[in-house]
Amino acid sequence: MSMNSEKKRLTGATVLLEALEKEGVDVIFGYPGGVLLPLYDALLDSSIRHILPRHEQGGVHAADGYARVTGKVGVCLATSGPGATNLVTGIATAYMDSIPLVVLTGQVVTALLGTDSFQEADITGITTPITKHSYLVKDAREIPRIVKEAFYLAGTGRPGPVLIDLPKDILATEVEPLPADMNLRGYQVPSKGDSGKIVEVAKALSECRRPVIYAGGGVIAAGAGDVLRQLAEKASLPVVTTLMGIGCLPSVHPNLLGMVGMHGTVTANYAVDDCDLLLAVGVRFDDRVTSGLGHKFATKAKIIHIDIDPAEIGKVIRPQISILGDARLVLEELLNTLESVESPQVADWWDRLRAWKNDHPLRYDKDRMTPQMIIECVGELVGENAIIATDVGQHQMWTAQFYPIVKSRNFATSGGLGTMGYGLPAAVGAQIARPDDMVVLFTGDGSFQMCIQELATIAQHNLPIKIMLMNNGVLGMVRQWQKMFYERRFSGVQFQANPDFVKVAEAYGIRGIRVDSLEQVRSAITEAIKHPGPVLLDFTISPEEDVLPMVAPGKPITEMLGR
Amino acid sequence: MLHTLAALVENHPGVLTRVAGLFARRAYNIDSLSVCQTDDPELSRMTIVVHGDDQVIEQVRNQLNKLVIVHSVTDLTAESVVERELALIRIQVSSETRSEVLQTADIFRGRVVDMGRTNLTVELTGDGEKIDGFIKAIRPYGLLELVRTGKIAILRSET
C-alpha cells in the first residue's frame, strides 16, 4: 500500500486522465485557468496530447470537428466561469447536429459552490438544455464511473455532448477511486429494428412507383452510407440528402438527386413533393427542409421514418410506418428482406426525375469569378480524400451545392445551429484528427472574423489547412434576404473596415494570396495545394452573388426562386 | 385534455430542474407536479399532470424518456387509477358561522386540524373536483388561505 502510494500519488486529476486514456482519448482541446491548475500539472505526465486554442469556443469547435471527421468522441476542456460559458455556443452546435463530445469544465472548490465566488458559473445549469447529460463531480472516487458513463452516453444512441464539471478540490484531492461500474438504468440504446415492420417497409417499397430516400446525419452517425448505397442501387431508389447527410452517397452517384430543402436542388424538392413513398432515414424533418410546413410536405407519400431517437418520430411529421433503431442495422435487414420481394417499377419515375434534372440543373455564370466556380475548381484539384469544413452563410450553401463530397465524414459544417465561426476551429480539429488528409475550409469574411484568432493555433502547430475565403465585404446571406424580401433595404450587413486578410494571415506567419480575377483561380488553388503549410486564399467576390435556387421562407418546397 | 403521467426518476439534486426545464423549453404546460422519494431511496416518483392532445403527450413522454435521469414514464390517463390531492384550507369563522362551516367540512369528510378564535383550518383529501367543490361551498364564509398539493395517482389492482 505505502509502496504503491509512494510510487504514484493518485489525485482526482490523475484518475481523470487515466480514465480518459482508457477511453482512447489521444487529444484534448483545452484552455487552462485557475481551477484547472491541478489538472494541467498532471497533464504533463499523461500520454494525452494537449492543443491550446486561442479561445475556448475554438477548443470546443475543434473537438467537434475532430468528432465529425473520425466518428470518435471529441474532448475539450475549459476553466470555470468565463472559460465554461465560452463553450456554450460550441456545445449547442454539437447538440443540434448530434455530435459526440465530452466537455470537461473546471469549477470552483466545492466549499465555495453557490456563493458567487470568483470565476464561478453554474455551467451544468446553463448547459442543461444543450447537453445529452451532465455531471457535477462531488466525490473524486466516482471519477472513473462518471468518465465511462459520459463517453458511453456521448457516443451511443443519438450521439451528443456530455459535460463533466470538476471542482478544483476534486481534482487536487488524493483519492482511491471506485471501480468504473456504469449505472445507467434510465438509458436505453435502440439497436435492431422491429423485423415485422421491416417486412412491412419492404412490401411498401416493392409496391410503390415513385420512391425517394431522404437521408440525413443519422446515416453518417450510424456508418450506414454503404448499406444505403446498396439499397438504393438494388431497388433503383433515388436519394435526397439533408445538409447533414452530405457524403452518405458519393456526390457523383447516379441515384443521388442532391440536397433537399431551402437551397436544395429543384429535382430533389420536386421528387420529395411528388413521391408516393418517402423513406426517411436519420432525419428530423427540420424546417430548413420542410419550410416549417409539415402538413404540406410530401403529401402524396407514404412516409416511413427510421430513427434511433424515439422523440424524433412523430415530432414534426407523423409517419405511416416508423422503425426505431440503428440506421445501419435497420437498412441491412431491409436490404436482406428486399431479396424476397419484387423490386419496384420505377422506370417512369426515373424518366421524370431525369427530365427535372435536365431542365433544372444547379448553374452559375462561367464568365466571371464566382464562388461556385471556385468551389468546383477546388473539388477538381484536391482529390476525394480531402476534408471540407465550412462556416455558415452563403459560402456554406454554395459548398453544399457544388462541392463533390465523395465520402462520409469528409464534411464538417454546422447544420442545425448554423454557427458562424465554426469553420476555422473545426478545420483545426479535423486536421489534428487526420494529419495525413488535406483539410480545406470554405469561409466568408463574416464567419471568418468570428474565430479568426485560431489562425494562431494553425500557425503554432503548422497545420496545413487551406483556407478559401469568399470575401464579399458583406454578410452575404442576410444581405441576400434583405435584397429579396426587404426591397434591398440593406441594414447592418456592410463591413466598412475589413482588414487586409492576406496581411492578417501573414502576421500569423501563414501564407496569404489574394485572388481577384478568374484567370488566377486555378493557379492560386494549385499553389495552395502544393504549399506544405497553411495557406489563405482571399477571393474577392461580388456581394451580388446569390444562393439559388431558394425556397422563400414559409413557401412549400416546390416554389423555388431561381429555378 | 389533461393527462396524468407517472415518472420514475433518479433521486439526485438537479433532477427536478431537468424535468421542469424540459417542460418549460418545449412549451408543455404542467398543470401540477408532485414528487417524493420511493421506497427505493435511489428513485423518486413524480406525478405530472399535463395538458395537451395525444400527439403532444406522446412527445412529452418521449422527451422525458430521453433524459438519462428518467427511468420510466407511464401515462395513467386511460388506466383505472386512484388519485388524490391534499388541501389545507383556512376559513374565516364567527360564532354564527362556525357550526355551518364545521358541518360543511364534515359533509366533505374534511378534518379540522387547527382552530383559532376567528378561523379554522380544514384538511381535505380527494380528487380535484371534490376539493374544488368544498372550496366553492366555504368561499362565502371567507377563504383566508389555501394550499393544495398536486395530484398523486396509483393504478388500481386488477381484480
Spatial neighbors of B54 by CB under 8 A, at least 6 apart, are: none
pLDDT value for A377: 97
Q: Kindly list the distances between the CA atom of residue A293 and the CA atoms of A46, A66, A397, B27, in Å, as whole numbers in the listed order.
A: 52, 34, 21, 19
Residues B38 and B101 in one domain: no
pLDDT above 90: percentage of residues in chain A: 96
How many CA atoms lie less than 13 Å away from A193 in the CB half-sphere?
31
Has A366 been annotated as catalytic? no
B158 band by pLDDT with thresholds 50, 70 and 90: confident
Amino acid at A319: P
Last residue of a domain, one of B46, B75, B104: B75
Residues B132 and B151 in one domain: yes
Mean pLDDT across A467-475: 98
The answer to whether residue A4 scores a pLDDT higher than 80 is: no
- Three-class SS state of A511: strand
Contacts of A125 in chain B (CB under 8 A): 14, 17
Residues B119 and B140 in one domain: yes
pLDDT value for A292: 83
A128 touches chain B (CB under 8 A): yes
Interface of B with A (CB under 8 A): 9-10, 14, 17-18, 21, 25, 55, 58-59, 62-63, 65-72
pLDDT above 70: percentage of residues in chain A: 99
Tens digits of residue pLDDT in B4-41: 999 999 998 889 999 999 998 888 889 999 999 999 99
Helix (H) or strand (E) holding A237: none
CATH number at residue B145: 3.30.70.1150
Determine, for residues A186 and B69 on separate chains, whether the beta-carbon distance falls below 8 Å: yes
Q: Which domains occur in chain A, in start order?
A: 2-172 (3.40.50.970), 195-359 (3.40.50.1220), 371-544 (3.40.50.970)
Residues B91 and B151 in one domain: yes
Residues B69 and B98 in one domain: no
Residues B90 and B143 in one domain: yes
pLDDT value for A5: 46
The chain B residue lying nearest A157, using CA atoms, is: B66
Lowest mean pLDDT among A336-340, A551-555, B87-91, B146-150: A551-555
Mean pLDDT across A233-250: 97
The answer to whether residue A3 scores a pLDDT higher than 80 is: no
Determine, for residues A133 and B17 on separate chains, whether the beta-carbon distance falls below 8 Å: no
A187 touches chain B (CB under 8 A): yes
**Cα A502 to the center of its chain, rounded Å:** 28
Mean pLDDT across A41-63: 98
Q: Where are the alpha helices (DSSP H) in A47-142?
A: 56-70, 82-85, 88-96, 123-127
pTM for this model (two decimals): 0.95
Residues B10 and B28 in one domain: yes
The DSSP secondary-structure symbol of A359 reads H
Residues B91 and B149 in one domain: yes
In the set A18, A23, A56, A120, the catalytic residue is A56
Residues B7 and B57 in one domain: yes
Nearest to A310 among B14, B18, B65 (CB): B65
Sequential DSSP letters for chain B? -EEEEEEEEE-STTHHHHHHHHHHHTTPEEEEEEEEE-SSTTEEEEEEEEE--HHHHHHHHHHHHHSTTEEEEEE-TTS-EEEEEEEEEEEE--TTTHHHHHHHHHHTT-EEEEE-SSEEEEEEEE-HHHHHHHHHHHGGG-EEEEEE---EEEEPP--
In the set A132, A168, A302, A466, the catalytic residue is A168
Compute the mean pLDDT over every residue in chain A, rounded to the nearest whole number: 96
Alpha-carbon distance A227 to A125, whole Å?
A: 40
Contact A216, A245 (CB under 8 A): yes
Q: Kindly list the distances between the CA atom of residue A192 and the CA atoms of A157, A214, A227, A308, A448, in Å, as whole numbers in the listed order.
A: 12, 20, 15, 10, 42
A491 burial (CB, 10 Å; 0-12 / 13-18 / 19+) is exposed
CATH number at residue B59: 3.30.70.260
Contact A112, A140 (CB under 8 A): no
A114 touches chain B (CB under 8 A): no
Nearest to B62 among A153, A311, A318 (CB): A311
Compute the mean pLDDT over every residue in chain B, rounded to the nearest whole number: 93
For chain A, give the number of residues: 563
The answer to whether residue A6 scores a pLDDT higher than 80 is: no
Nearest to B59 among A129, A184, A315 (CB): A315
Contacts of B21 in chain A (CB under 8 A): 128-129
Contact A102, A152 (CB under 8 A): no
Number of domains composing chain B: 2
The DSSP secondary-structure symbol of A73 reads P
- Residue keyed to cell 437498412: A331
Residues B48 and B13 in one domain: yes
Q: Kindly list the distances between the CA atom of residue A81 and the CA atoms of A75, A93, A123, A425, A537, in Å, as whole numbers in the listed order.
A: 19, 20, 8, 21, 37
A9 band by pLDDT with thresholds 50, 70 and 90: confident
ipTM: 0.88
CB atoms within 10 A of CB A194: 17
Contact A77, A31 (CB under 8 A): yes
Residues B121 and B142 in one domain: yes
Q: Kindly list the distances between the CA atom of residue A290 and the CA atoms of A272, A287, A297, A321, B57, in Å, as whole numbers in the listed order.
A: 10, 5, 6, 19, 23
Tens digits of residue pLDDT in A360-415: 999 999 999 999 999 999 999 999 999 999 999 999 999 999 999 999 999 999 99
Residue to test with chain A: of B54, B66, B72, most A Cβ within 10 A: B66
Alpha-carbon distance A246 to A389, whole Å?
A: 12
The DSSP secondary-structure symbol of A174 reads B
The answer to whether residue A8 scores a pLDDT higher than 80 is: no
Helix (H) or strand (E) holding A33: none
Has A168 been annotated as catalytic? yes
Domain around B30: 2-75
In the set A118, A176, A300, A380, the catalytic residue is A118
Residues B32 and B63 in one domain: yes
The answer to whether residue A141 scores a pLDDT higher than 90 is: yes
CB atoms within 10 A of CB A209: 13
pLDDT value for A2: 46
Tens digits of residue pLDDT in A400-435: 999 999 999 999 999 999 999 999 999 999 999 999
Mean pLDDT across A43-55: 98
Residue to test with chain A: of B9, B68, B72, B74, most A Cβ within 10 A: B68
The answer to whether residue A160 scores a pLDDT higher than 90 is: yes
Last residue of a domain, one of B13, B47, B75: B75
Alpha-carbon distance A10 to A176, whole Å?
A: 7
Mean pLDDT across B94-109: 95
Last residue of a domain, one of B75, B106, B133: B75
Tens digits of residue pLDDT in A518-559: 999 999 999 999 999 999 999 999 999 999 999 998 899 999
A24 touches chain B (CB under 8 A): no
Contact A278, B30 (CB under 8 A): no
Contact A94, A153 (CB under 8 A): no
pLDDT value for A501: 98
Alpha-carbon distance A297 to A289, whole Å?
A: 9
A254 touches chain B (CB under 8 A): no
Contacts of B72 in chain A (CB under 8 A): 186
Residue to test with chain B: of A128, A131, A158, A312, most B Cβ within 10 A: A128
The chain B residue lying nearest A158, using CA atoms, is: B66
Has A29 been annotated as catalytic? no
How many CA atoms lie less than 13 Å away from A197 in the CB half-sphere?
15
Determine, for residues A311 and B59 on separate chains, whether the beta-carbon distance falls below 8 Å: yes
- Residue keyed to cell 458511453: A152
